[in-house]
Chain A
Amino acid sequence: MVILKRIKKVLLYIMLGAVAVIQIYPVIWMILISFKDNNEIFSGNIMGLPKKLLWQNYVVAIRDAKVAVFFFNSVKVSAITLFVTICLSLTVAYAITRMGWKHSKTVLTFFLVGIMIPGQAIIMPIYELASRTHLLNTHFLLICVYTVFALPTSVYILSSFMSGLPRELEESAFIDGASIYRTFFSIIIPIIKPAIVSVLILNFIGVWNEFMFGFVLINTESLRTIPVGIQSLVGQYNTNWGPMGAAMVVATIPTIIIYTIFSGQIQNSLIVGSVKG
């Protein structure tokens, strides 16, 4: 009987391990390829460790394929989007939950409705608008679009947190003579730091990996974000696997590193962000 239990346990761990391998190995394969040269891959060493680490592939990816440029663009667009999103959603959430006024519920619903809207609903008018107003090919427009998509979930998360805070916090501040703005900055914001972190993480992942709008709204190579850039390389580097692998590794490594460090936080943020009406 005990032996049966043991066998069951072993089988269980084998299954779990196999799934883990399936989930991780393709990424490892990508890393292995990035260090090989075409001859090595095409002459049989497809799955094994590279004979030597061909850093040259990375040089090609960064210099010729301009992966560094894409990387920089992604950082810029993401950073600005996150900053604007946080500013706007914090203020809106605060106004809705802590400053009692007639239309607060309507405004909340106004923003929450956006959660269900897919990009397809607006991409064509935005494109047409862009091409007519010289906003096409600008990071400005991309940031506006990304912010607008980030607002609904951010407002939802922040207003949920804020509505749970006790009224006494502001009341004592007002009694002491603090203005609304002072209270907002010095008291409320420090307390909801965890929620802010969740919002940042959730939106970072979405913006960093976004493809559709980046693809439609940006045409110049030097302005492309990482996903769009990588897509543009796929055709070019069809038969040149080493540098393509290197480009993909450079594109993915930041998210993987952030994920390994913050995996608990990230998983929590996604759980919080998904439990919506």
Chain B
Amino acid sequence: MEVKGKKIAILIFTLPAICLYTFFLFIPIFASLGLSFFKWDGFGPIFFNGLQNYIDVFVHNIDSFWGSAGNSLLFAVLCVVIQLPLALILALVLSNGVKGENFFRTAYFMPVIISSVIIGALFSKVYNPDYGLLNTILGKIGLGSLKRMWLGDPKTALLAAFVPQIWQFIGYHMLLMYAAIKQVPNEIIEAAKIDGAGSFQIATKIKIPLIKPMLEVCLIFAVTGSLKIFDLIYVLTPNGGPLNSTQIPTGLMFKELFTNYSTGIGSTIAVFIVAECLIFTFLIQRIFKEKIVEI
């Protein structure tokens, strides 16, 4: 079936998007990679630097790079160990059928649609030592001795920065898991109930294994999201926090680019972040491939 002008139509339909995409995404990606091998302050002459940038960053630990990398990795671990299990529990409970299921789901999800910047600005007030919500509540319930300068104390700043992150996205993971659980065929659950299985068994032996693909998606989002994190931390602690305790790779990249004018080093950090995300994504997919085949 020949349609007139098909070839032209295809071009018209795809060329604009492909051009935009190539120019603003593909070329810049390679430019970033390329820039990481040069030394340049953004306006003066540009020198080829070989692997020196990489050596400076990874070996000489310029600007405590590994400290910031460690922070983002810690975030990722905490997400996996705290945020995801909590989300799973909520998802299991809600999908089991409770009164007000829709209300709870909507309430839990709400922080997701708010900008991270606003959440950061909000929590910087929550953490205010004198008038903040947290210390006020602690005082009212008799735990006044726990009051701290949450964002000002190097010992608590990092964990304090992490809490809004869990708070904001726990609803997101919960929603994805909830949707997946709802897709588990009812017959299987009914059959298990007839066999005498209790809710806990049904949850662990049936529901969780059957939503493994979605768990994989959540895991990838949580981990890569933590590695890339920027907005929230930057608003809470713009300069890397007390004693640099809350610096994260993206923040360091910004510092190198805009404060130190080292585009080469900045690009190297960017390459690191991207590589990190890709590697972890593949790792997680690898792990799940084996697990799913097992079943």
Contacts and interface: CB of A to CB of B under 8 A. Distances in A.
A89 B17 contact: yes
Interface string B251-295: 001000100000100110010011001100100000000000000
B28 interface: yes
> Majority SS of interface residues in chain B?
helix
Contact of A234 (B13, B235, B270, B281): B235
B270 A121 contact: yes
Interface in A180-201: 180-181
A160 interface: no
A60 interface: no
Q: Which bracket fits the contact residues of A? A: 35 or more
Given A12-B93, A91-B13, A248 B121 contact: yes
A111 to B, nearest CB: 7
A274 B267 contact: no
Contacts of B132: 46
Nearest to A181: B9
A20 B117 contact: no
B109 interface: yes
B171 interface: yes
A68 interface: no
Contact of B13 (A41, A92, A230, A274): A92
A23 B176 contact: no
B215 interface: no
> Which 10 A-B pairs give the minimum distances between C-beta atoms?
A122-B28, A125-B31, A209-B115, A95-B13, A91-B13, A125-B28, A88-B17, A227-B117, A211-B231, A20-B107
Interface of A: 12-13, 16, 19-20, 22-24, 26-27, 29-30, 33, 41-42, 46-47, 88-89, 91-92, 94-96, 99, 101, 107, 110-111, 114, 116-129, 131, 144-145, 147-149, 151, 155, 171, 174, 179-181, 205, 208-209, 211-212, 226-228, 230-231, 233-235, 241, 244, 248, 251-252, 255-256, 259-260, 263, 266-267, 270-271, 274-276
8 contacts: A19-B90, A23-B167, A94-B13, A124-B31, A209-B116, A234-B124, A234-B235, A251-B115
